[in-house]
Structure 1
Amino acid sequence: MPLSRHFEIVYMLLHKKKVTADELAEHFEVSTRTIYRDIDALSAAGIPIYSSRGKGGGISLMEGYVFNTSLLSEQEQNDMLMALQSVATATIPQVEEVLNKLSRLFKKDMGNWIEVDFSPWGSQNSQRQLFTLIRNAIITNRVIKFRYYNVAGEQSYRSVEPAKLLFKDKSWYVEGYCLNTESHRVFKISRMKEIAVTEISYEPRTVVASTDTKMNDLLHTIEVTLHISAQGAYRVYDEFAEKTITQKEDGSYTVTAQFPVGNWLDSYLLSFGPLLIEVSPEQVRTRILSHLETMKRNLNDPL
Structure 2
Amino acid sequence: MRASRLLSILLTLQAKGRVTAGMLADEFEVSERTIYRDIDSLSEAGIPVYSERGSEGGYRLLGGYRTRLNGLSAQEADALFLTGLPGPAADLGLGAVMAGAKTKLLTALPEGLRKSAEQMQNRFFLDAPAWFTEAEQPTHLQEVAKAVWDQRFIDIHYRTWKEEKRRRVAPLGIVLKSGSWYLAGAVDGSPRTYRISRILEFSLSDTHFERPADFDLAAYWHENTRRLEAELHPNLATLRLSPWGRKMFEAFLPPYVCAHADFDDAPDETGWITVTLPIGSIRQTCVDLLRFGAEAEVLSPPDLREAMAEIAGALGEIYGGKR
Q: TM-score range by the shorter chain?
A: 0.5 to 0.7
Alignment of 1:43-58 (within 5 A): 46=61, 48-49=63-64
- Residues 243, 196 of structure 1: alpha-carbon distance in 2 compared, 3 angstrom cutoff: same
Residue equivalent to 2:159: 147
Whole-angstrom distance in 2 between the partners of 1:266 and 1:219: 15
Give the deviation of 1:69 after TM superposition: 3.7
Give the deviation of 1:282 after TM superposition: 0.8
Give the deviation of 1:281 after TM superposition: 0.8
Amino acid at match of 2:61: G
Gap regions ≥5 residues in structure 1? 8-43, 50-61
Equivalent of 2:238 in 225, 234, 245: 225
Alignment of 1:169-208 (within 5 A): 174-177=183-186, 184-187=191-194, 193=198, 195-200=200-205, 203=209, 204=211
Amino acid at match of 1:159: R
Equivalent of 2:128 in 103, 118, 132: 118
SS in 1 for 2:238: strand
CA contact (8 A) 1:226 1:278 kept: yes
Q: Does 1:103 align with 2:121?
A: no
Q: 215-224 vs 264-273, which deviates more? A: 215-224
Amino acid at match of 1:274: A
Amino acid at match of 1:248: P
- Residues 131, 47 of structure 1: alpha-carbon distance in 2 compared, 3 angstrom cutoff: farther
SS in 1 for 2:164: strand
CA contact (8 A) 1:227 1:276 kept: yes
Whole-angstrom distance in 1 between the partners of 2:271 and 2:101: 51
Q: Cα deviation per residue 1:243-262 (whole Å; 9 max; x = unaligned)?
A: 62335144444321222235
- Residues 244, 146 of structure 1: alpha-carbon distance in 2 compared, 3 angstrom cutoff: same
User: How many correspondences in the alignment?
Assistant: 236
Give the deviation of 1:279 after TM superposition: 4.2
Alignment of 1:235-250 (within 5 A): 235-237=248-250, 239=255, 240-241=258-259, 244-246=262-264, 247-249=266-268, 250=270
Gap regions ≥5 residues in structure 2? 1-10, 16-58
Equivalent of 2:309 in 269, 289, 298: 289
TM-score (ref. length: structure 1): 0.56
TM-score (ref. length: structure 2): 0.53
Residue equivalent to 2:5: none
Alignment of 1:266-281 (within 5 A): 266-281=286-301
SS in 2 for 1:271: helix
Whole-angstrom distance in 1 between the partners of 2:290 and 2:297: 11
Residue equivalent to 1:256: 276
Equivalent of 1:156 in 164, 187, 196: 164
Q: Cα deviation per residue 1:153-201 (whole Å; 9 max; x = unaligned)?
A: x34345363444557799875444468xx96544567xx5355542135
Alignment of 1:64-75 (within 5 A): 67-75=67-75
Whole-angstrom distance in 1 between the partners of 2:103 and 2:320: 60
Superposed CA RMSD in Å reads 4.5
SS in 2 for 1:255: strand
